[in-house]
A and B are shown apart, each in its own frame.
Chain A
Amino acid sequence: MLKIENLHATIGDTEILKGLTLEVAAGEVHAIMGPNGAGKSTLSYVLGGRPGYEVTAGSVRFNGIDLLDLDPHERAAAGLFLGFQYPVEIPGVSNVQFLREALNAQRGARGEEPLSGGEFLKLAREKAGLLKLDMEMLKRQVNVGFSGGEKKRAEMVQMGILDPKFAVLDETDSGLDIDALRTVGDGINSIMRAPDKAVLLITHYQRLLDYVKPDKVHVLAKGRIVKTGGPELALQLENEGYEAVAA
């Protein structure tokens, strides 16, 4: 489904991704772990086409198309979802307005009819319920004044509404309390566990992986995938650390 080959990317003059290769098949969940500053978020932004991140070599194919050839909003319409490590606040724009514009823009790009206000609210209420987020929160401005954990849960509500094919979730577990972690884990499974979907979970800890069981675990260090294993690799990393396992 997603095939990254020999990806090199720079921010300014600094090369951050240095020949990263990774393939995720449909129906799978992969976890990426790795030390701070390894390039995990950079990978997610490069996949998402964030301005300032320049691909200097390599390729990314997404369901057979050249992902890097698309503008950021076209990548979303093609089915890519980015869960942000630091979700962005948008003062003056409500979640409802934001998500309805987003969903209908995506639908339009795919040649589908827009949802009416009523249909959209029904969908939003259902997904907010799934993530146990009060519907009132969705009437507020995007992420403004949300706590860290609320932002992460709101992002998963966004994912539920937009229903992507492929999600890159960057430390979605950070800032979540114990109950919220379970709710979010269940939410990810319910939204993304399907034969035609896949997930790349970026995380530092085993705990989210207890709920969202990965098929594969990769270690990203110094801009490359340096080790790949099964779910047991995450446990080993947690016990022994990166230096011992992936040096």
Chain B
Amino acid sequence: MTELATLPTNRDEDWRYSDGAFLAKADLDAINHWRTLEVPAGETRREQLTQSGSANSGSTDRLRVHVGRDARFEGFYLLSGSQYQRMEVEVTLEEGAHFEFGGVTIGGGASIQEFVTRVIHAHPGATSNQVVRAVQSGMSTGNFLGRIEVARDAQKTDAAQNFRAILLEKGASANTKPELEIFADDVLCAHGAAIGQLDEQASYYMAARGIPPQIARKLLIQAFIGDAFENIVDDAQREEMLDKALHELGDLSGGSA
């Protein structure tokens, strides 16, 4: 979108759940930096990234994608780490194009991880599917702001969006805010959101079969996160993402939980 003239603050809608302290001291050029990707008609591009943070106070990754006619863009992301992390994706879909998005946040301490997406169904027959899973412990926060825009002539749009968060500890939190701007009438838009704890019944069922609590917890979280990476077509790559996520969880449970 347009360049920001000044640093964003929590008063800006798209940054409302962001780390205010990070924003106040951020580098405007870095925040204004967008990666761009053009997916030619009929082709497929995939991106798989893990951001586990660094010593500085946080990072933003902003990606703008144009997906050509009957083309596909698939992006899978893992945000984890001790600081503020924001992954933002803006996707414009041509006729018959598809956007597949899977995101996982894993946070501990006082960290904030967030996904912000804007999916523009500009033309008819495009589809999008977004699945975000957040696992937060400590005082951390996981966010998903997902905006879907369906243009007037973008009939037969099929856009799905699903967010679920598990709060492992009392101080953890999650925010979500689906925004649908629909100007066409023949449109399917499914969105769902749920924030809760680990399933106690399932945990007990596992214990009743002899599975110790730490392993039960790991299995349940693994299954939960798996939703977001389910549509990574390559088995090895899917395993890799899951392994990385579990590794991050291991770091978490070694600490506070």
Contacts and interface: CB of A to CB of B under 8 A. Distances in A.
Question: Do A and B share a complex?
Answer: yes
Interface of A: 48-51, 71-73, 76-77, 82, 84, 87-93, 97-99, 101-103, 105-106, 109, 142, 158, 162
Interface string B185-215: 0000000000000011110111111111101
B44 interface: no
B139 to A, nearest CB: 25
A158 B236 CA distance: 30
A89 B202 CA distance: 7
Given A98-B219, A101-B215, A101-B219, A90 B202 contact: yes
Contact of B211 (A87, A89, A101): A101
A99 B224 CA distance: 18
Which residue among A51, A76, A97, A162 has the maximum number of chain B CB atoms within 10 Å of its CB? Answer: A76
B211 A93 contact: no
Interface string B44-62: 0000000000000000000
Contacts of B219: 93, 97-98, 101
B223 A91 contact: yes
- Is the contact region of chain B dominated by helix, strand, or loop, or is it mixed? helix
Given A50-B204, A84-B205, A90-B202, A73 B212 contact: yes
B222 interface: yes
B209 A92 contact: no
Given A92-B222, A93-B219, A76 B202 contact: no
B226 interface: yes
Nearest to B199: A90
Interface of B: 199-202, 204-213, 215-216, 219-220, 222-224, 226-227
30 contacts: A50-B204, A51-B200, A51-B204, A71-B207, A72-B208, A73-B206, A73-B207, A73-B213, A76-B207, A76-B210, A87-B205, A88-B201, A90-B199, A90-B220, A90-B223, A91-B223, A92-B222, A93-B220, A98-B206, A98-B209, A98-B211, A98-B219, A99-B209, A101-B219, A103-B210, A105-B210, A106-B210, A109-B210, A142-B205, A162-B210
Given A84-B205, A88-B205, A101-B215, 4 more contacts: A71-B207, A76-B207, A98-B219, A158-B209
Nearest to A93: B223
A84 B205 CA distance: 9
A151 to B, nearest CB: 12
Nearest 7 A/B pairs, CB to CB = A92-B223, A76-B210, A72-B207, A102-B209, A88-B205, A106-B210, A73-B207
A162 B209 contact: yes
Given A51-B200, A105-B215, A90 B205 contact: yes
Given A84-B205, A90-B202, A105 B220 contact: no
B225 to A, nearest CB: 9
A88 B199 CA distance: 10
Contacts of A102: 206, 209-211
B220 to A, nearest CB: 7
A207 to B, nearest CB: 26
Contacts of B206: 73, 90, 98, 101-102
Nearest to B223: A92
A73 B202 contact: no
Nearest to B226: A92
Contacts of A87: 205
Given A90-B223, A92-B222, A92-B227, A105 B205 contact: no
B203 to A, nearest CB: 9
B168 to A, nearest CB: 16
Contacts of B215: 101, 105
B208 A77 contact: no
A89 B223 CA distance: 12
Contacts of B202: 88-90
A77 B223 contact: no
Given A90-B223, A101-B215, A105-B215, A76 B204 contact: no
